[in-house]
Amino acid sequence: MARNGRYAHIVGWGMYVPAHRRTNDEIAAMVDTSDEWIATRTGIKERRIAAEHESTATMALRAGEAALEIASLAPEALDLIIVASATPDYLFPASACIVQDKLGADHAGAFDLSAACSGFVYGLSLAAQAIETGAIDTALVIGSETLSRFVDWKDRKTCILFGDGAGAVVLAGRNQRGGVLSSTLRSDGSGGELLLVPAGGSRHPASLETLANNQHTIKMLGREVFRFATRAMADAARVVVEKAGLTFDEVALVIPHQANSRIIETATRMLRLPEEKVYMNVERYGNTSSASIPIALCEAVEEGRVQPGDNLVLVGFGAGLTWAAAAVQWAVPWPVVPQPPQQRVLWRARRVFARLRSGWRRVGRRIWGALRWLQGKRGQPSAEE
Ligand code: ACO
């Protein structure tokens, strides 16, 4: 995919998951289900649930900081931050801007990307293309989700599936071949109703009626999504492998969106891949939507399943409907040489400074606003004049 001999390499990665684990047994105490049903139909054993003080942006920040630290890249050197999320903190501002501010990434553009579970691969592909054209040199691509806040905890068909977390990668331009070799982005909006949160947007803004009708939580037609997902995953993986000029024999690991072990196993059979070539951690985190692929990538790297020179296929599918894949050649050895202690102290100090600066800017803006208001008051003619 490279142009001008420029390739977008993954040079850093990081993940964050909330501490609280919610097991199948805990869910079975809330709705009519069982650990056995959930585990056999989905492969999920537990998922993480965000604490009250956590949100999509706070988790994205933690994953992004970890990725920058591995890349040894200062936040000021970032050109672009993309946060892929179906559960952003606000309609606006973008969660990516909150991350930009807290990181102190003063030279970076920042935006959110809404492509549900395919969002991370969409973001990776767009950032890689921007690097290859020479428009930018570095990017932080994050997938982050707080799905637990949009799950109907009384609906056993959906509440068993989803979890919270974030994963991130740092992309940097290099002249040697590697990094993102090819990608494909696809969509089929005719399947929009298969998986949606009906209210809260401009079509059905929040109202007493939407609340009473429970329209702010995830609705899904599971069987139809299942059928779409297996086909989409296999097709997209084939496309990027071919586009990259590879065969599946040359692919070391496929890292799919972690929605359901049965979807992954069916697609694995369709692609005639041995099981060990397909990464799975759905049992620990459930479906974390746009965060699932970068979380799985981080764990695969840390387990030593990804080595320099390996070709990987990342493949996602989800609401929209959307699906996407990317073929990536890995370049960074693992374990990464640990940073000297003074470097770690410097990173910590940098974080504290970025947070302080953000606070000063907010306070400064308020003081400035108050001064302008006072000035305006003084300049205004009184009613008697
Ligand atoms: N516990 C016990 N029984 C259940 C549960 C549950 N948690 N959920 C459904 N059932 C029952 C149903 O009520 C139904 O009973 P009935 O036949 O008496 O009516 C029966 O089990 C079968 O229901 P199905 O919905 O047909 O079950 P299925 O085998 O399809 O499994 C599942 C449901 C796990 C949701 C499956 O369809 C699936 O995984 N679909 C894909 C979902 C997915 O991955 N979505 C996300 C992808 S995109 C994204 O990530 C945003």
Q: What is the pLDDT along the chain (385 residues), one digit of tens a residue?
A: 666 789 999 999 999 999 999 999 999 999 999 999 999 999 999 999 999 999 999 999 999 999 999 999 999 999 999 999 999 999 999 999 999 999 999 999 999 999 999 999 999 999 999 999 999 999 999 999 999 999 999 999 999 999 999 999 999 999 999 999 999 999 999 999 999 999 999 999 999 999 999 999 999 999 999 999 999 999 999 999 999 999 999 999 999 999 999 999 999 999 999 999 999 999 999 999 999 999 999 999 999 999 999 999 999 999 999 999 999 999 987 777 777 888 888 888 988 898 899 999 999 999 999 999 999 988 876 555 5
Contact 43, 280 (CB under 8 A): yes
| Pairwise CA distance, residues 56 & 228, whole Å | 27
154 and 289 belong to one structural domain: yes
Residue 13 tokens read as 């990665």
Do 255 and 348 have their domain in common?
A: no
In terms of DSSP bridges, do strands 138-146 and 164-174 run parallel, antiparallel, or are they unpaired? antiparallel
Residue 311 appears among annotated catalytic residues: no
Looking at the structure of the chain, the number of domains it has is 2
The one catalytic residue among 257, 260, 281, 298: 257
**Which residue type occupies 348?**
R
Matching residue, tokens 């969106």: 257
Pocket of ligand 1, beta carbon within 6 A:
33, 37-38, 41-42, 116-117, 156-157, 160, 195, 220, 222-223, 225-226, 229, 259-260, 263, 287, 289, 318-319
> Ligand 1 center to residue 321 CA distance, Å?
18
Instruction: Assess whether 131 and 218 both reside in one domain.
Output: yes
Give which of 102, 87, 178 is closest to 140, Cα–Cα: 102
Q: What is the CATH number of the domain that holds 207?
A: 3.40.47.10
Residue 354 within a domain: yes
Active site residue 257: yes
Q: How far is CA 302 from CA 64, 307, 336, 354, in A?
A: 17, 10, 10, 28
Give just the sign of the alpha carbon dihedral 65, 68, 73, 79: negative
Is the residue at 248 inside a domain?
yes
Residue 130 vs residues 116, 121, 136, 171, 325: alpha-carbon distances, Å: 21, 14, 6, 11, 17
Parallel/antiparallel/unpaired status of strands 80-84 and 109-113: parallel
Runs of H (alpha helix) within the chain: 24-28, 35-42, 56-71, 95-103, 119-132, 208-212, 222-243, 261-270, 282-285, 292-302, 341-379
Please check whether residues 287 and 353 belong to one and the same domain.
no
Residue 82 lies in a domain: yes
Q: Distance, CA 45 to ligand 1 centroid (Å)?
A: 15
41 CA to centre of ligand 1 in angstroms:
8
In a domain, 1, yes or no: no
Structural domain for 375, as ranges: 341-385
Question: Domain for residue 243, yes or no?
Answer: yes
Q: Measure 230 CA to ligand 1 centroid, in angstroms.
A: 15
**Based on the domain organization, do 322 and 354 belong to the same domain?**
no
In angstroms, how far is CA 91 from the centroid of its own chain? Answer: 17
Residue 201 belongs to a domain: yes
Domain identity same for 31 and 74 = yes
Query: Are 315 and 231 members of one domain?
Result: yes
- Specify whether 254 is located in the same domain as 346: no
Residues with Cβ < 8 Å from 203, sequence gap 6 or more? none
- List beta partners, residue 179: 329
Alpha carbons 275 and 257: distance in angstroms, whole number: 15
Residue 336 lies in a domain: no
Q: Are 98 and 238 part of one and the same domain?
A: yes
Among 290, 8, 273, CA closest to 126: 8
**Domain-located, residue 2:** no
For residue 264, what are its two tokens? 């992954």
Tokens 């040894």 map to which residue?
72
Task: Give φ, ψ of 100 to 5 degrees.
Answer: -55, -45
Read off φ and ψ for residue 329, nearest 5 degrees: -100, 125
Co-location of 383 and 287 in the same domain:
no
Q: What angle do CA 160, 326, 282 make, to 5 degrees?
A: 20
Residues 87 and 222 in one domain: yes
CA angle 255, 256, 260 (to 5 degrees): 135
Instruction: Among 329, 349, 373, give the residue marking a domain's end.
Output: 329
Residue 350 is predicted with a pLDDT of 86
Backbone phi and psi for residue 8, each to the nearest 5 degrees, phi listed first: -100, 105
Looking at the structure, do residues 281 and 368 belong to the same domain, yes or no?
Answer: no
Residue 143: strand pairing partners: 84, 167
**Taking a C-beta distance cutoff of 8 angstroms, is the pair 255, 313 a contact?**
yes
Q: State yes or no: is 281 an active-site residue.
A: no
